[in-house]
């Protein structure tokens, strides 16, 4: 990525710096550069009516693992509203980030690990706020993560009914905390309760050693207060306040009561990236504190120079930051020494300068900007947002997913920011209701502290065109140079959220599918041959059967269920092509 390209994009707000970009990478793959990456007929912008999924003519889909699907033959069949006991044995709600881990063989049998971000009380319980401890448990069990053994038989994907791998991880599952914050006073309660639960599991990552990373985003929504509570400056920065509970769990579970002195530090145990080993059903999930406490969107893992592990992460809130973590050493050497590569290393926050360059700012006591304000590294990590502010990171327009392309370019969706009043070069719209996608490349094979950046897409530039999209969120840069972009937010003329495919070399956009009314499209993973894509329909109808009963036929009363779509090209080609 030449500096001149960056400069042009920065100075003009160019939609996609495609021509220069093509020139820059064509020498390595001239064959590929000539062949269009996207060959399907785009779904017309106006085709969707919100009542059914609309997919490109060359494609087909199967609905799969809806909320409440039994994980085994012994598990209770779906009925609404689910009991706490049933939900423990069923797929959770709020399908979001996910990753497919195939077994050895043809790739048609493996483990799908999927996040359950969100399920509002009306949708899960049929009531605005829980009235019993049992209802709180049902809500808690609907959240978290599912590990599901799946296979394809005669072209149809199914849940393996007698799996020894399938399991639910939820808001009360036992966890281990690892890394610099472990055992620190900031995560210790006088109740002496064990570390447990994962919440608001949004996007995800996967490691080269075949584990899954689930990311805790809006954990503040689960905490409330039974009596007067005055949040500290640190708690306010994470939106922990008396009236903040979206779920009302605190009324029946003191762990989520901010005013209960026995659980004063419980909220510091959330906001982490959690590592899950899908292949070992007995393995306890691990909160990897070296990656910082944020409202984590995702954790994109790449192997950088000399086998260092690099994790790119967004913190999804208006004016929050983009982060990266670099492991202390080659990950295989660390494993051999019995150390997790996610436990020792350096956390950085990004500063995007106006000239198309940028810098990663270390969040450690060695940074003079932080030395006075924090007592130790745990203090910095628990309050990573405050540390990044002091370090001088650039406040962004809600960083969501990050994905690294085959040539090392890093893409991040900045979904929107309706409250921005002052622009900077990296966030050039004020307000920014439709979002943008920023792109950078780090020096030194992902390890460098300097990078160059440009804009891949300013959504406002296409919002009122046939290629319209707004509020980009889920993102996957595939190995061929496509960018699969999911949306979560307002689409032009009230159309539903959608999945678009961009050709990063030509800048063209094509609409692959459109969801039903009220849903978000999110979560992207494929089989190893990339001929089968799993993508999620989250909160169809926002849970309201008067909007949709998806995936059931609309009848105005059957409660809609979040579910996965299994998407294939009818000709067996690579998805996105």
Alpha helices per DSSP H over 294-435: 331-336, 368-371, 377-382, 384-391
Stretch that binds Ca ion, among 268-276, 362-370, 424-432, 471-479 (CB under 5 A): 471-479
What mask of x and - would describe binding to ligand FEO in positions 453 to 482, judged by CB under 6 A?
Answer: --------------------x---------
- In this structure, what DSSP letter does residue 124 have? H
Q: CB 298 → ligand FEO: shortest distance, Å?
A: 9
* Residue of 194, 376, 406 lying closest to 284 (CA atoms): 194
For residue 442, state whether it binds ligand FEO (rule: CB under 6 A). no
Phi/psi at 364 (5° precision) = -150, 165
Q: CB 532 → ligand FEO: shortest distance, Å?
A: 24
Torsion of CA 302, 454, 354, 392, to 10 degrees: -20
For residue 562, state whether it binds ligand FEO (rule: CB under 6 A). no
- Residues 178-217 interacting with ligand FEO (rule: CB under 6 A): 202, 217
Q: CB 283 → Ca ion: shortest distance, Å?
A: 26
* 380 and 325 Cβ atoms separated by less than 8 Å: no
> Binding partner of residue 217 among ligand FEO, Ca ion, none, CB under 5 to 8 Å per kind?
ligand FEO
For residue 497, state whether it binds ligand FEO (rule: CB under 6 A). no
Phi/psi at 412 (5° precision) = -135, 130
Q: CB 495 → Ca ion: shortest distance, Å?
A: 17
Considering just the CA atoms, what is the radius of gyration of the chain in Å? 22
Whose Cβ is closer to ligand FEO: residue 68's or residue 399's? Answer: 399
Q: CB 117 → ligand FEO: shortest distance, Å?
A: 5
* 131 and 172 Cβ atoms separated by less than 8 Å: no
Binds ligand FEO by CB under 6 A, chosen from 216, 315, 316, 379: 316
* 285 and 175 Cβ atoms separated by less than 8 Å: yes
Rounded to whole angstroms, the Cα distance separating 142 from 272 reads 19
For residue 397, state whether it binds ligand FEO (rule: CB under 6 A). no
> Binding partner of residue 478 among Ca ion, ligand FEO, none, CB under 5 to 8 Å per kind?
none
> Binding partner of residue 322 among ligand FEO, Ca ion, none, CB under 5 to 8 Å per kind?
none
For residue 400, state whether it binds ligand FEO (rule: CB under 6 A). yes
Binds Ca ion by CB under 5 A, chosen from 488, 497, 503, 554: 488
Rounded to whole angstroms, the Cα distance separating 395 from 389 reads 8
Q: CB 383 → ligand FEO: shortest distance, Å?
A: 20
> Binding partner of residue 315 among Ca ion, ligand FEO, none, CB under 5 to 8 Å per kind?
none
For residue 297, state whether it binds ligand FEO (rule: CB under 6 A). yes
176-178 and 286-288 strand pairing:
parallel
18-25 vs 3-12: helix axis angle to the nearest 10?
170
Q: CB 217 → ligand FEO: shortest distance, Å?
A: 5
- Residues 393-432 interacting with Ca ion (rule: CB under 5 A): 400
Distance of CA 254 to the CA centre of its chain: 28
> Binding partner of residue 379 among Ca ion, ligand FEO, none, CB under 5 to 8 Å per kind?
none
Show the beta-strand stretches assigned E in 353-487.
Answer: 357-362, 396-397, 399-404, 410-414, 436-442, 450-458, 472-477, 482-487
- Contacts with ligand FEO by CB under 6 A: the residue count is 7
Binds ligand FEO by CB under 6 A, chosen from 5, 84, 86, 117: 117
- Contacts with Ca ion by CB under 5 A: the residue count is 3
Binds Ca ion by CB under 5 A, chosen from 442, 454, 473, 480: 473
Q: CB 413 → Ca ion: shortest distance, Å?
A: 8
Whose Cβ is closer to ligand FEO: residue 94's or residue 481's? Answer: 94
* 506 and 497 Cβ atoms separated by less than 8 Å: no
Rounded to whole angstroms, the Cα distance separating 146 from 167 reads 6
User: What count of other Cβ atoms lies within 10 Å of the Cβ of residue 471?
Assistant: 22
C-alpha distances in Å from residue 356, one per residue of 3, 21, 26, 409: 8, 15, 22, 14
Rounded to whole angstroms, the Cα distance separating 171 from 165 reads 19
Q: CB 502 → ligand FEO: shortest distance, Å?
A: 20
Q: CB 555 → ligand FEO: shortest distance, Å?
A: 30
The contact set with Ca ion (CB under 5 A) reads 400, 473, 488
The contact set with ligand FEO (CB under 6 A) reads 117, 202, 217, 297, 316, 400, 473
């Amino acid at each position: 990525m030449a500096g001149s390209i960056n400069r042009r994009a920065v100075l003009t707000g160019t939609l996609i710096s495609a021509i220069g970009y093509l020139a820059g990478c064509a020498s390595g793959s001239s064959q590929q550069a000539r062949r269009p990456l996207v060959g399907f007929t785009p779904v017309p912008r106006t085709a969707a009516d919100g009542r059914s999924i609309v997919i490109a003519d060359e494609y087909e889909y199967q609905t799969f693992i809806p909320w409440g699907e039994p994980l085994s033959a012994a598990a209770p069949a779906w009925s609404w509203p689910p009991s706490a006991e049933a939900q423990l044995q069923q797929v959770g709600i709020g399908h979001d980030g996910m990753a497919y881990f195939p077994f050895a063989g043809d790739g048609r049998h493996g483990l799908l690990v999927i996040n359950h971000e969100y399920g509002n009380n009306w949708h899960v319980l049929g009531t605005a706020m829980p009235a019993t401890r049992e209802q709180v448990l049902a809500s808690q069990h609907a959240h978290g993560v599912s590990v599901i053994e799946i296979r394809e038989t005669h072209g149809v994907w199914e849940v393996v009914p007698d799996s020894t791998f399938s399991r639910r991880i939820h808001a009360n599952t036992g966890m281990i905390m690892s890394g610099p914050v472990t055992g620190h006073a900031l995560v210790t309660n006088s109740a002496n309760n064990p570390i447990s639960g994962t919440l608001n599991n949004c996007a995800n990552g996967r490691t080269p050693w075949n584990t899954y990373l689930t990311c805790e985003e809006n954990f503040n929504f689960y905490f409330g207060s039974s009596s007067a509570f005055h949040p500290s400056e640190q708690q306010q920065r994470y939106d922990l306040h008396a009236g903040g509970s979206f779920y009302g769990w605190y009324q029946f579970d003191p762990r989520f009561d901010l005013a209960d002195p026995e659980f004063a530090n419980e909220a510091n145990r959330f906001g982490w990236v959690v590592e899950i080993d899908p292949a070992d059903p007995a393995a306890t999930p691990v909160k990897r504190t070296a990656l910082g406490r944020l409202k984590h969107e995702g954790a994109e893992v790449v192997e950088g120079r000399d086998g260092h592990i690099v994790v790119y992460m967004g913190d999804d809130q208006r004016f929050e930051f983009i982060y990266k973590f670099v492991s202390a050493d080659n990950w295989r050497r660390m494993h051999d020494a019995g150390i997790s590569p996610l436990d020792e290393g350096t956390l950085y926050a990004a500063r995007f300068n106006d000239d198309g360059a940028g810098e990663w700012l270390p969040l450690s006591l060695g940074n003079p900007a932080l030395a006075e304000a924090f007592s130790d590294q745990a203090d910095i990590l628990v309050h990573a947002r405050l540390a990044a502010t002091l370090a001088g990171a650039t406040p962004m327009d809600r960083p969501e997913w990050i994905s690294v392309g085959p040539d090392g370019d890093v893409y991040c969706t900045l979904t929107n920011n309706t409250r921005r009043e002052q622009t900077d070069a990296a966030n050039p719209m004020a307000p920014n209701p439709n979002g943008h996608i920023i792109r950078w490349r780090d020096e030194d094979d992902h390890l460098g502290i300097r990078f160059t950046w440009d804009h891949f897409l300013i959504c406002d530039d296409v919002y009122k065109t046939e290629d319209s999209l707004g509020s980009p969120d889920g993102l996957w840069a595939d190995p061929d140079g496509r960018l699969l972009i999911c949306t979560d937010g307002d689409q032009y003329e009230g159309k539903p959220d959608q999945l678009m495919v961009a050709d990063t070399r030509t800048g063209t956009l094509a609409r692959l599918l459109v969801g039903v009314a009220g849903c978000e499209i999110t979560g992207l993973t494929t089989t190893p041959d990339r001929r089968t894509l799993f993508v999620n329909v989250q909160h169809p109808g926002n849970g309201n059967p008067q909007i949709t009963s998806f995936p059931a036929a609309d009848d105005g009363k059957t409660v809609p269920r979040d579910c996965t779509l299994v998407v294939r090209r009818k000709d067996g080609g690579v998805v996105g092509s």
